[in-house]
């Protein structure tokens, strides 16, 4: 697999606070205050003007109306049977060119993501392009083995002449709703395994980044049969229509509030959903940490993509004995960052407002801003703030912005207790030179991903699962575990015995009862020797009675 140099994790969502404007819909643009484009109308992305490094509007992209969604689902349904009937090798052949298309279009992807989200172009290349090529490479190389059938071991005496195999079958039609913060990498992490597994997909990109959505769709142009990938560009009401449509699975990446709505819509249809939601990720800096590396890593982990990343460091717990030295190193690292070059603006005005509110409330409650502090413009200078407790919104709710809250703890036990107190449980990191101790501590953290002496970049590793606990959701992207949602097991048993009837078929006779009781005695580990011998004779006698006619 080609390495993604210093890969930024392609895994994040927006906070859950609902709002009324199109920009304020949650990251994935699912049910929340909708926009209302005309059917198939060409509308422009809701991106701001290009000032002070802010994003510029993308080219016009055709949005669809909610009423168009059922038709797209129907086309995907009609195409699915033929697509699934193709061999896995054939589907791999069809989709393999996507890797080179991603790499060959790197500059265009980086430029469009920069225009729509404001993230630095270099960061877009590292987080959206290189890891996406790795995703294609991983799934096209491994999918045949991962979808392979497995034989189920059967006891030959109990089940003579029988063999059974388990197969992974496609779900059918998958509805995919993805956010704006990693608008290329996140959808590809589901599109590739879903399509390779034999599903068809109806995909709703974020209305905040329609241009990036169009670029992703174009990666598959001319490769797939009609209907295999249906793209539904539009606002929140289009996401709602997809969540309520007759699909076989919804994969949703976004905020908690919208995730709940999606789950309810799926529950009404008794249809599964996969939810990858927000995070409030903690970094624990122990007294024996390499403070230079810890400071550099925490700053990157907190501020990459301007903190608009569900895997971002949003809480730092540092042991008291090294707290002052660590904070000073953080301040030096943050001061060296260049606005618009190393760190971009907040993508939406709504997110800037969330950051401003949380920081102001923290200051009012006794928190001390020790660097930065201005939140009046979308290009928010990174904020470092000392906090005294975890009672505030800044320490409890997802911030999704360039803020580094630092809390001093007495020892590692306090750090773990406070880290685990969050309702979220996505990622965490431990910084220590004693890696054996840190590995043991990792198993005590309530987080789906724990990194030691690093933070959150594992979203760029296609072979490593990305998942969480609690309000971070239960969806899994990357790794073979992702197939648990995208496929369903089918068990096929073949009976070659040729006997007239099975032991357990009708009629139920005294001889069958004797066989059942004798088998229970023989299989129990508490049955003594003499009773076991008696059970053997009872079993033989029962068989004779059972099959005497």
Q: Which residues are catalytic?
A: 276, 310
Number of Cα atoms under 13 Å in the Cβ half of residue 470:
16
Integer angstrom CA distances of residue 533 from 172, 536, 538, 539: 53, 5, 9, 10
- Cα gap 198→80, rounded to integer Å: 7
Structure-token match 């990622």, residue found: 427
Edge to edge, the sheet with strand 249-253 lists 229-231, 200-204, 173-177, 249-253, 273-276
Task: Find out whether 136 and 192 touch, Cβ atoms under 8 Å.
Answer: yes
What tokens does 174 get? 């998958």
- Cα gap 476→251, rounded to integer Å: 10
Reference 314, options 273, 358, 344, 370; nearest CA is 358
Helix pair 97-104, 130-146: axis angle to 10 deg = 170
- Cα gap 41→71, rounded to integer Å: 17
Number of Cα atoms under 13 Å in the Cβ half of residue 79:
21
> Residues 246-268, buried b or exposed e (16+ Cβ, 10 A)?
ebbbbbbbbbbbbbebbbebbee
Angle at 11 between CA 398 and CA 309, to 5 degrees: 35
* Collapsed DSSP state (helix, strand, coil) of residue 419: helix
| Bond into 164 cis (ω within 30) | no
- Cα gap 29→204, rounded to integer Å: 8
> What is the DSSP track for 31-82?
SSS---PPTT-EE---PPPS-TT-------EE---GGGHHHHHHHHHHHHHH
């Amino acid at each position: 697999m080609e390495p993604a140099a210093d890969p930024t994790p392609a895994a994040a969502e927006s906070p859950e606070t609902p709002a009324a404007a199109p920009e304020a819909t949650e990251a994935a643009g699912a049910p929340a205050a909708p926009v209302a484009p005309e059917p198939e109308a060409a509308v422009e992305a809701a991106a701001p003007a290009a000032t002070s490094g802010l994003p510029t509007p993308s080219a016009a992209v055709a949005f669809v109306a909610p009423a168009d969604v059922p038709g797209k689902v129907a086309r995907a349904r009609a195409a699915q049977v033929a697509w699934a009937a193709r061999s896995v090798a054939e589907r791999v052949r069809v989709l393999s060119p996507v890797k080179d298309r991603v790499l060959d279009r790197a500059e265009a992807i980086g430029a469009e993501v920069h225009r729509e989200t404001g993230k630095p172009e270099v960061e877009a290349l590292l987080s959206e392009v290189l890891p996406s090529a790795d995703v294609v490479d991983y799934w096209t190389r491994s999918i045949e083995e991962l979808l392979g059938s497995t034989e189920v071991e059967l006891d030959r005496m109990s089940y003579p002449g029988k063999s059974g195999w388990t197969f992974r079958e496609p779900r059918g039609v998958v509805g995919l709703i993805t956010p704006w913060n990693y608008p290329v990498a996140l959808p590809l992490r589901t599109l590739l395994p879903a399509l390779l597994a034999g599903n068809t997909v109806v995909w709703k990109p974020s209305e905040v980044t329609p241009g990036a959505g169009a670029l992703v769709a174009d990666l598959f142009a001319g490769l797939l049969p009609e209907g295999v990938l249906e793209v539904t560009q539009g606002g929140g009401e289009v996401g709602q229509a997809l969540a309520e449509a007759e699909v076989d699975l919804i994969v949703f990446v976004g905020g908690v509030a919208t995730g709940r709505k999606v789950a309810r819509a799926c529950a009404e249809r008794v249809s599964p959903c996969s939810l990858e939601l927000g995070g409030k990720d903690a970094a624990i800096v122990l007294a024996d940490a390499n403070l230079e590396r810890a400071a550099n890593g925490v700053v990157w982990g907190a501020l990459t993509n301007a903190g608009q990343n569900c895997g971002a460091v949003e809480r730092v717990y540092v042991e008291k004995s090294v707290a002052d030295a660590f904070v000073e190193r953080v301040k030096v690292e943050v001061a060296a960052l260049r606005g618009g070059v190393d760190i971009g603006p907040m993508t939406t005005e709504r997110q800037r407002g969330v950051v401003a509110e949380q920081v102001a409330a923290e200051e009012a409650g006794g928190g001390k801003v020790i660097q930065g502090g201005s939140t009046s413009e979308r290009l928010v200078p990174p904020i470092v703030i000392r906090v005294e407790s975890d009672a505030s919104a800044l320490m409890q709710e997802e911030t999704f912005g360039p803020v580094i809250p630092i809390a001093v703890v007495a020892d590692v036990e306090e750090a773990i207790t406070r880290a685990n107190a969050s309702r979220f449980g996505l990622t965490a990191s431990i910084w220590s030179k004693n890696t054996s101790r840190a590995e043991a501590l990792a198993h005590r953290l309530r987080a789906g991903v724990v990194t030691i002496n690093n933070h959150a970049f594992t979203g760029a590793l296609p072979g490593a699962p990305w998942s969480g606990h609690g309000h971070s959701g239960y969806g899994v992207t990357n790794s073979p575990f992702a197939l648990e949602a995208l496929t369903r097991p089918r068990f096929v048993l073949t009976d070659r015995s040729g006997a007239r009837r099975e032991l357990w078929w009708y009629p139920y006779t005294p001889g069958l009862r004797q066989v059942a009781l004798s088998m229970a005695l023989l299989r129990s580990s508490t049955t003594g020797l003499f009773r076991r011998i008696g059970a053997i004779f009872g079993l033989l006698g029962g068989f004779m009675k059972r099959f005497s006619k």
